[in-house]
Amino acid sequence: MDIVNPVMWSLHVGFAILWTGSVLFVTLAVLPPALRGDVGADALGSIVGRLRWITRIAALAFLASGGHMAGTLYTFESLTGTGRGHLVVTMIALWFLITGLVEVASGKLTDGLDAGKLREPARDAKPFLYGAAGLSAVLVVTAGLLATPGII
């Protein structure tokens, strides 16, 4: 039995759950109190730092595990010429977009917190976190479609 494929799938799905959950948690549970000024700057800075690290480590995990899966399960033609391939390409595009949005949002928050502000950087980061959260939901739906046998 080949142990590499289940390990790669588990790594990929595990980091996807951690990452999308973290993006949604920060956006839906941490950002609203930050916008009101109800959260401490140190706590917010710590949370944002964790989100940044989760995003960056997940990117490496996705590159390794997703690269392995794409290399063993797909050809260029199947990625560009089939419904399942289009879903995989969509997931890759969403991954890049969400990563970029999280990096911009966390940069705005970190810069503002370093300047001694709280509500203003939270306001500045809000559209980027909302975008990342919305695309994270789309990513989960796309993964669900890809995981459903016979749908595509």
Q: Given this model, what pLDDT does residue 139 score? A: 97
pTM of structure: 0.93
Burial of 19 (0-12, 13-18, 19+ CB in 10 A): buried
Q: Given this model, what pLDDT does residue 73 score? A: 86
Three-state SS for 77-112 is HHHHHCHHHHHHHHHHHHHHHHHHHHHHHHHHHHHH
For the chain, 152 residues long, give each residue's pLDDT as a single digit of tens: 589 989 999 999 999 999 999 999 999 999 999 999 999 999 999 999 999 999 999 999 999 999 999 889 889 999 999 999 999 999 999 999 999 999 999 999 999 999 999 999 999 999 999 999 999 999 999 999 998 987 77
Q: Given this model, what pLDDT does residue 121 score? A: 97
Place of tokens 């996705």: 62
Q: Distance of CA 49 to CAs 30, 56, 128, 151, Å?
A: 13, 11, 16, 39
Is the Cβ–Cβ distance between 74 and 85 less than 8 Å?
yes
Q: Extract the tokens encoding 131.
A: 């975008």
Q: Given this model, what pLDDT does residue 52 score? A: 97
Q: Given this model, what pLDDT does residue 137 score? A: 97
User: If DSSP codes are grouped into helix, strand and coil, which group holds residue 130?
Assistant: helix
Distance of CA 133 to the CA centre of its chain: 8
